[in-house]
Amino acid sequence: MRNIFKAIPFTILIAVLPIFPSGAEDTPSQAAEEISGKQIGSPGDGIVLRIEWNNPFNPEAEDPRDDHTRIYYKVSKHGVTIRIYSINGELVRTLVEDKTEMEDRIDWDGKNDEGEFVGSGVYLVNLKIGKSSKTVKVVVLR
């Protein structure tokens, strides 16, 4: 009978683990906010970062409404830096560095720092201010 009671908590643990993947950076509520398009950020860190328009987007689209993505941010301090990275962590483009506006919208045209269009794929938009940072994904799709 003792062995049955030892197996029950183990079974419950197995049933709960798939709900919270190991190594996930976002909490379930943050993931839900990202999916619904609401703000991303914890109340205590003072950073809001989201893709506001076109995700995925095609930088070579003929329609000017589809050739860029719009990034929205709001912070509580000055000195925002926003960079685009490849999924491998390589720097693709620096959109703003040490910006003084505490709230703004920035368009990314799908180009790297050399002015060339990037390839299709997932890119990371990273906002850094002081020691805090937030990252959201954007997809370039042709």
- What are the beta bridge partners of residue 49? 73
Q: What are the angstrom distances between the C-alpha of 45 and each of 26, 87, 128?
A: 14, 25, 12
Lowest model confidence (mean pLDDT) among 8-17, 68-77, 101-110: 8-17
- The three-state secondary structure class of 2 is helix
Q: What's the CATH code of the domain at 89?
A: 2.60.40.1930
**Domain for residue 62, yes or no?**
yes
User: What strands, in cross-sheet order, belong to the sheet with 69-75?
Assistant: 47-53, 69-75, 103-108
**Domain for residue 79, yes or no?**
yes
Task: Please tell me the pTM assigned to this model.
Answer: 0.69
Quote the pLDDT of residue 64.
87
89-137 pLDDT, tens per residue?
999 999 999 999 999 999 999 999 999 999 999 999 999 999 999 999 9
**Domain for residue 12, yes or no?**
no
Q: 21 pLDDT band (50/70/90 cuts)?
A: very low
What domain range includes position 116?
Answer: 25-140
pLDDT at 67 over 90: yes
**Domain for residue 5, yes or no?**
no
Mean pLDDT across the chain = 78
The structure tokens listed for 55 are: 């995700």
CA dihedral 108, 119, 31, 12 (to 10 degrees): -170
Q: Which helix (H) or strand (E) covers residue 88, if one does?
A: none
- The three-state secondary structure class of 72 is strand
**Domain for residue 33, yes or no?**
yes
Quote the pLDDT of residue 90.
97
Mean pLDDT of 78-92: 97
> Would you list the DSSP string of 10-66?
HHHHHHHGGGS-TT-SS-HHHHHHHHHT---S-TTTTEEEEEEE-SSB-TT-SSTTS
pLDDT at 40 over 70: no
Mean pLDDT of 49-75: 93
Place of tokens 């994904």: 137
Share of the chain above pLDDT 90, in %: 61
The structural domain count of the chain equals 1
Mean pLDDT of 41-59: 82
